[in-house]
Amino acid sequence: MLRSILFIITVGFLIGCQPVPDAEDLNRDLVVQTDYDETANFGSYSTYTLTLDTLGLISNSVKDTLILGSYARDITAKIKANMDSRGYTYVAKNQNPDLGVNAFVVYDFSIFQTISYPRYGTGYYSPYYGYYYPIVNTYLNNSGALILQLVDLKKKNSQNQFQVIWTSYIGDIVSSVDPYKKSVEAVEQAFVQSPNLKK
C-alpha cells in the first residue's frame, strides 16, 4: 500500500512540473497588434486631430480618466510624427478634421478585447477629452494596454457611432520591464506594420 502511495505521489509531483517561459523573457518586448477596415480608403483623408500631451484612461481600479505628463507627451508626439510622415495634416478639433486619433490606456478593466476589433466604436466626444469607447469583449485582468484608434469623423451611423478604420493594441504595459521606452517603440512599430496607412 505504502509503495503504491509513493508511486502515485511521485507521478503526481512530476505531472505538476509543467515548465513555462521565464517572465522576464516574455515581457522583454510589447506585443503590437493592428487591424484596419479594408473598405477604408486611407488616401482619401487629409487632416486629423489628436489631443496632444494627454492619454485617456479606462480602469476599474483608478478613478482618473486621463494620463498626463511625459509618458502621454512622448506617446502622442510619436503618433503625431508618424501621422505627419504619412502625409496627413494635423488640425485643431474645431477645424473639421477628417480623422480623429484616440490614444488611451486600458488598465485593469474587464471588458477589453485583445485581438480583433469592430468596425464601429460606440463612441462619442467626451466633453473633457475626445476619445471614443471601443466595443470590447474580453480582457486579461491586472494587465494594461495602450490603444490607438483612427476614427473616420465623416462617417457616423444612426446610433451616433463613428467608424473606426484602424486600431492598434499594445500590451502589456503593466508588466513590461521598461514600459516607457517600450511603449514609444511599440507606437512606432504599429505604424511600421501598417504600410497602407498613408495619404
Partner 1 sequence: MKSVLFLTFAIVGWAGQVQAQYFDKTYSLALDINKPLSNTDFVNQVSARGFKFGYREMINERIFGGIDFTNTTYDSYEPRKTYTSGTSAITTDLYNYAYSYGLTLSFDYFFKIEQKLMPYAGLGVGASYINYSQYFNVYSNKYDSWGVLVRPQAGVIYRLKEDAGWALQAAVHYDYSSAKSQELDLKAFQNMGVQVGVIILNW
Is residue 189 part of the contact set for partner 1 (CB under 8 A)?
Answer: yes
Vertex 176, ends 192 and 61: CA angle to 5°?
110
Q: Which stretch binds partner 1 (CB under 8 A): 5-13, 41-49, 53-61, 70-78?
A: 5-13
Is residue 89 part of the contact set for partner 1 (CB under 8 A)?
Answer: no
Nearer to partner 1, 73 or 155 (CB): 155
x/- map, 112-151, partner 1, by CB under 8 A: --xxx-----------------------x--x--------
Coil, strand or helix at 115: coil
Write down the residue that cell numbers 493592428 correspond to: 34
Round to whole Å and give the CA distance between 114 and 28: 19
Is residue 36 part of the contact set for partner 1 (CB under 8 A)?
Answer: yes
Is residue 163 part of the contact set for partner 1 (CB under 8 A)?
Answer: no
Burial pattern 76-112, b for ≥16 Cβ within 10 A else e, equals bebbbebbeebebeebeeeeebbbbbbbbbbbbbeeb
Contacts of 69 (CB under 8 A, 6+ apart): none
Query: Which grid cell is 3?
Result: 509503495
CB 196 within 8 A of CB 166: no
- Binder to partner 1 among 97, 100, 121, 171 (CB under 8 A)? 171
- Binder to partner 1 among 1, 21, 63, 64 (CB under 8 A)? 21
Is residue 177 part of the contact set for partner 1 (CB under 8 A)?
Answer: no
- Binder to partner 1 among 38, 70, 157, 158 (CB under 8 A)? 38
Which chain residues interact with partner 1 by CB under 8 A?
A: 3, 6-7, 10-11, 13-15, 17-21, 25-38, 114-116, 140, 143, 171-172, 175, 189, 193-194
